[in-house]
Amino acid sequence: MTGTVTGAPRAADGRRTGSRRGRRWGLLGCGLALAASAALLLVRLTGLDAGTPLAVPMVLFPYSAVLSVLVLGVVVAVPALRSRWTVAFVAVLVVVQVGALIPRFVPAGRHVPSGSAELRVATLNTDVGGADPRAVVELVRTERIDVLALEQLPVGGVAALDKAGLGALMPYQELHPEYDSSIYSRRPLSHGGTTDADTAWPQTTAEISVGGRTVKLVAVHTYYPLGDAGRWTRDMTALASLARRSGSDAVFLGDFNASLDHTPMRRLLATGLTDTHAELGRGWARTWPVGLPLLPPMVQLDHVLHGSGLAGVSVGEHTVPGTDHRAVVAVLALLPA
């Protein structure tokens, strides 16, 4: 009897100690998650990622919003973690994060008149020519691509694509393997060349006639922020300057090494360009990395941007063996002038 009576307080003390320890670990876990989410939100709101290494974790901003939503659910559901101030702070954090993300998930709903001329475009980073040339040709054939922009395409990659039959499908070409990007087309190209903008390497450009109008094409590949965030930011700034001079009938497509949450990308879009994925409500498309064990594509670095004279009809991603990027295929319609 004595052992039974004296053992009860000890058991209760053990439960209280375990409860306190669990609460501490819970608070620590939630606190770390919230600190990371709040830090990324602060960077996004202030633009601190432009020209700094903070550009690298910025690609995870959508995931941080999901993490905040999960933490909000935990602090609401677990009494030991719940407090008025904690719930209020997390709720505000979630509202601001979701508010920043929502526009890319809501289709713009732009009216495209029946019979509008269309341009079917695609972009693919070939990973220094590693993309399977036969798969590239098959993509062009099955998707009926009019214009194909290829990045990181060396001389050997050009030869492999020609051998696989790309030249027969797309006989009009503006090839600059010495500068990284090239443009292939089913239709005649004009005014081809490269930019003299302040980018790490020249960007390939050309013009194409669609529905009696001239559309300017820019095959984009910027430097990468992990290598030199300052150089990457200057590349994006130079593209913004080029976009302002390109008019409303322009298509910038390629590997921007940027997501929609990067400040330089948002500044580029502010020139009048529209991201086709966001326009069609496909705000969480993922194009990189591909081919890693147990890791699916996580972020969107490859984009099709267009001026106000065009509208997105459809957009999608396609896996091509041999490269760590997915191809982006978009159908664009010309709007009445």
Q: Report the DSSP beta bridge partners of residue 150.
A: 124, 182
* CATH number, position 309: 3.60.10.10
Domain check: are 94 and 134 in the same one? no
CB 164 within 8 A of CB 133: yes
Q: Please give the tally of structural domains in the chain.
A: 2
Predicted confidence at residue 161, as pLDDT, reads 98
Predicted confidence at residue 252, as pLDDT, reads 98
Which tokens sit at 85? 């101030």
CA distances, 218 to each of 221, 229, 252, 256, 263 (Å): 10, 22, 5, 12, 21
Domain check: are 6 and 138 in the same one? no
Enclosing domain of residue 18: 2-104
Alpha-carbon distance 127 to 335, whole Å?
34
Q: Last residue of some domain: 104, 132, 159?
A: 104
Alpha-carbon distance 187 to 9, whole Å?
85
Predicted confidence at residue 85, as pLDDT, reads 85
Domain check: are 195 and 294 in the same one? yes
Domain check: are 158 and 279 in the same one? yes
> For every one of its 337 residues, what pLDDT tens digit does the chain have, with 9 covering 90 and above?
455 555 555 555 555 554 566 556 657 778 888 999 999 999 999 999 999 999 999 999 999 999 999 999 988 888 777 788 889 999 999 999 999 999 999 999 889 999 999 999 999 999 999 999 999 999 999 999 999 999 999 999 999 999 999 999 999 999 999 999 999 999 999 999 999 999 999 999 999 999 999 999 999 999 999 999 999 999 999 999 999 999 999 999 999 999 999 999 999 999 999 999 999 999 999 999 999 988 999 999 999 999 999 999 999 999 999 999 999 999 999 999 8
Alpha-carbon distance 90 to 280, whole Å?
30
pTM of the model: 0.92
Domain check: are 199 and 318 in the same one? yes
CA distances, 146 to each of 149, 176, 180 (Å): 10, 19, 21
Domain check: are 99 and 142 in the same one? no
